[in-house]
Amino acid sequence: MIRGIGLDCASISETGRLIRELGETYTTYAFTEAEIDTARSVERPDVHFAVRFAVKEAVYKAIAHLTPAKHFDLRIVETLVREDGTPYVSISQSLEEQLASAGVRGLHLTVSHGQDLAFAFVVATDE
């Protein structure tokens, strides 16, 4: 059964500006080491980070109403890519604890991006 849905969009140009102006201060605040490492090997790090930021926000929106947690560290949501190229949310121990308290057992994800917007849609389920 669906427990929550989350949708977010992030500006690719704004993400690029944050990376240029704040550098590591921004990336280490919001992203995991794996996400940062992967960004170093892609042609458009701004797109990479914008998509991942949208995923983090979409996950939060999908579960926030279900959990008593008052603080949400963006780094507990890590977006990785399967061999076939499909993205998924890697479930860290911290995220698993929040999901369990919310009665969520699965996160289903789709992402896309255009010229300046990155989108993420997450469905949180109890199965």
Ordered by where they begin, the domains of the chain are 2-125 (3.90.470.20)
Burial code (b: 16+ CB inside 10 Å, e: under 16) for 84-108 equals: eeeeebebeeebeebbeebebeebe
Q: Which pair of structure tokens corresponds to residue 59?
A: 């996950």
Residue 63 has pLDDT above 90, yes or no: yes
User: pTM here?
Assistant: 0.94
Position 67 scores a pLDDT of 87
77-123: per-residue pLDDT in tens? Answer: 999 999 999 999 999 999 999 999 999 999 999 999 999 999 999 99
Nearest to 55 by CA among 101, 114, 9, 102: 9
Q: Which pair of structure tokens corresponds to residue 37?
A: 């490492």
Q: What gap in Å lies between CA 75 and CA 100, rounded to an integer? A: 18
Average pLDDT (28-56) is: 96
Position 88 scores a pLDDT of 96
Q: What is the rounded average pLDDT for all residues in the chain?
A: 95
Opening angle at CA 94, ends 92 and 95, nearest 5: 65
Burial of residue 125 (CB within 10 Å: 0-12, 13-18, 19+) is middle
% of the chain surpassing 70 pLDDT = 100
% of the chain surpassing 90 pLDDT = 91
How many residues can be counted in the chain? 127
Residue with structure tokens 């990785």?
A: 80
